[in-house]
């Protein structure tokens, strides 16, 4: 009975407060105006005074709760509401925009590597090397990649409710770190989520969307064949010092593990690695810069000789469509030089010399060492 009485009393007090805030008379006042002969004037005045006091009490409680929520901003366990309306009782919300990420520094261990690498101007310090080891790019390249990414509206850092209130969303830097970690380390999305402190769905959607955008907009800017005379001489000059004049690149197959290969295609994709893969032909110079990648992948059981038949770079050099007019000199047995037109690539299509001391074994060993130096 006491609980019901207090509940009705609180309901009447809240109704009185709403009527007072809206400038309307309470129920007791409306009764006294419409039917003054039915209501005792003394009781009407007493009811009005009581309702006003109760409304002021409720108003004080609401204001105190609102002030406490302003101070605590966002408390764990509460439903967050960033609208401009006054929140209901029990909702925890922020009334001022936060100037830092929801995941503050220290929550994700990657912030330590990033901040430490940025403080190291040369990038050769311990933090810079650790950052490069984890994400496979120097911190300067990462900053450039981040600037290009946030220039797009779909990847720009944003606030909840269009920047009016609330903390920023998950940092785009953390998302890019997560994608680079997955690609460079071959980890799962869930493992990267645990390290960058973001949800699985957030990183999964960003991974596919960002990599597709990266291939469409940035691939041609960084993966290209030497075209000018200066570019060709720069690449061939390194190989000439290593004893291979006229070499333009080194080519090898790169296998990518196919984790969910269907059983019917297992035999076509299982090669020397012992598990199903998809293979790409990748051409690089001796400075490890990627020059060319095949447009599509092949089953992992195919040999490099088979892949060479569908590689545009190898077919173009073989048929004279690429670098056919570039000349280089080689030595004859008598010490004289001979001029040859057309460049070539170092590949591993089999080494016929098996026994040491056989003719050509020394050349084959030099060939192997030069190519495997950037394998």
The stretches of 243-360 forming alpha helices (DSSP H) are: 266-269, 304-308, 312-318
Residue 51 near residue 13, CB atoms below 8 Å: yes
In which domain, by residue range, is 178 found? Answer: 110-222
Q: For residue 183, tell me if it sits in a domain.
A: yes
Task: Give the separation between CA 124 and CA 112, rounded to whole angstroms.
Answer: 16
- State how beta strands 344-346 and 247-257 pair: parallel
pLDDT at 87 (0 to 100)? 45
Q: Are residues 341 and 211 in the same domain?
A: no
Q: Are residues 263 and 198 in the same domain?
A: no
Q: Are residues 64 and 139 in the same domain?
A: no
pLDDT at 125 (0 to 100)? 81
- State how beta strands 344-346 and 327-331 pair: unpaired
Q: For residue 185, tell me if it sits in a domain.
A: yes
pLDDT at 354 (0 to 100)? 61
Q: For residue 105, tell me if it sits in a domain.
A: no
pLDDT at 225 (0 to 100)? 94
Neighbours of 128 (CB within 10 A): 21
Nearest to 16 by CA among 24, 6, 8: 24
Q: Are residues 149 and 133 in the same domain?
A: yes
The domain boundary, picked from 201, 222, 243, lies at 222
Q: Are residues 300 and 358 in the same domain?
A: yes
Q: Are residues 281 and 163 in the same domain?
A: no
Q: Are residues 265 and 364 in the same domain?
A: yes
pLDDT at 107 (0 to 100)? 73
pLDDT at 348 (0 to 100)? 77
The domain boundary, picked from 72, 101, 119, lies at 72
- What are the 10-residue block averages of pLDDT along the chain, 375 residues in total? 53 59 50 43 48 47 43 40 45 43 59 79 76 90 92 77 59 91 90 88 93 92 92 92 90 89 92 91 91 92 88 91 90 88 82 61 68 67
Question: How many structural domains does the chain have?
Answer: 3
Query: Which burial class, exposed, middle or buried, applies to 77 when counting CB atoms under 10 A from its CB (0-12, 13-18, 19+)?
Result: exposed
């Amino acid at each position: 009975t006491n609980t019901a009485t207090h509940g009705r009393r609180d309901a009447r007090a809240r109704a009185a407060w709403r009527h007072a805030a809206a400038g309307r008379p309470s129920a007791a006042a409306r009764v006294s105006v419409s039917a003054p002969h039915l209501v005792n004037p003394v009781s009407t005045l007493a009811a009005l005074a009581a309702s006003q006091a109760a409304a002021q009490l409720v108003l004080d409680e609401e204001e105190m709760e609102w002030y406490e929520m302003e101070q605590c901003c966002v408390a764990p366990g509460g439903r967050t509401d960033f609208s401009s309306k006054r929140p209901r009782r029990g909702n925890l919300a922020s009334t001022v925009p936060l100037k830092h990420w929801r995941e503050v520094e220290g929550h994700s261990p990657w912030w330590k590597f990033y901040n430490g690498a940025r403080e190291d101007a040369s990038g050769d310090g311990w933090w810079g090397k650790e950052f490069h080891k984890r994400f496979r790019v120097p911190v300067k390249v990462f900053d450039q990649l981040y600037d290009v990414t946030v220039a797009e509206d779909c990847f720009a850092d944003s606030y909840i409710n269009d920047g009016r209130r609330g903390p920023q969303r998950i940092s785009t830097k953390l998302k890019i770190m997560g994608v680079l970690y997955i690609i460079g380390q071959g980890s799962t999305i869930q493992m990267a989520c645990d390290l960058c402190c973001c949800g699985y769905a957030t990183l999964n959607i960003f991974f596919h969307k960002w990599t597709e955008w990266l291939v469409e907009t940035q691939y041609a800017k960084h993966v290209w064949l030497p075209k000018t005379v200066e570019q060709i001489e720069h690449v061939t000059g390194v190989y000439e010092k290593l004893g291979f004049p006229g070499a333009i690149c080194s080519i090898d197959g790169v296998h990518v593990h196919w984790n969910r290969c269907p059983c019917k295609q297992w035999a076509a994709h299982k090669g020397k690695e012992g598990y199903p893969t998809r293979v790409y032909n990748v051409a690089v110079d001796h400075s490890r810069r990627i020059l060319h990648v095949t447009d599509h992948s092949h089953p992992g059981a195919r040999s490099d000789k088979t892949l060479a038949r569908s590689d545009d770079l190898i077919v173009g050099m073989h048929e004279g469509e690429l670098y056919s007019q570039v000349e280089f000199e080689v030595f004859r047995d008598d010490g004289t030089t001979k001029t040859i037109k057309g460049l070539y690539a170092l590949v591993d299509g089999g080494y016929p010399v098996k026994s040491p001391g056989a003719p050509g074994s020394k050349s084959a060993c030099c060939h192997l060492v030069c190519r495997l130096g950037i394998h």
